[in-house]
Amino acid sequence: MIEVNVERETDLSAAVVWEEIRHFDRVLKWIPGGETSSIEVKGEGVGAVRDIHLSTQGYVQHRLVAFDPEQRSFSYTLTAGKPIGMQDYVVVASVTPKDRGGCVIRWFGRMTADTSLDEQVVGAALAVALGNMTSGVVARLKGQQPVFSSQPNEDWQLRQSTSRHQ
């Protein structure tokens, strides 16, 4: 099992950032390929499920397992799909105000790689994915174009699906 921590400080207030990331249906607004992907959320609050069809990776499903607006944090787990080669993962997102203004956006992920892949490589891919989400959130809130890092294993799931059908 690999653990990944991604943190970013921003001059945006914690309240502004939390208001954006707290919505379980907004993830496509912050990620590479989000504009050509689709999402459907079933249910509300803890237990809600989001079905995501990523143009770059295929189908992924998450379940919201924790939500704490007072602490500005939430957590979700993978329930279907193998994005970037992960066979399971849990992610915790949090927003913490800084004493002199601004905030820290944190993403923590714990994952297991598909047995055919190097766990360290898949862990690095998760770090890039979480970093890209953070960059996407900040850029969206500042009205800027996000600058995303290149994603290792981006299309791994699609390649696996295609090779099984050939």
Domain boundaries, the chain: 2-152
- Show the low-confidence residues of the chain (pLDDT under 70): 151-166
- For the domain 2-152, what is the CATH code? 3.30.530.20
The reported pLDDT for the residue numbered 151 is 60
Amino acid identity for residue 122 in this structure: V
With contact defined as beta carbons under 8 Å apart, do 61 and 79 qualify? yes
The reported pLDDT for the residue numbered 114 is 84
Structure tokens at 33: 């390929």
Q: CA 134, CA 117: separation in Å to the nearest integer? A: 26
The reported pLDDT for the residue numbered 153 is 55
CA distances from 11 to 16, 82, 103, 105, 143 (A): 10, 34, 6, 11, 14
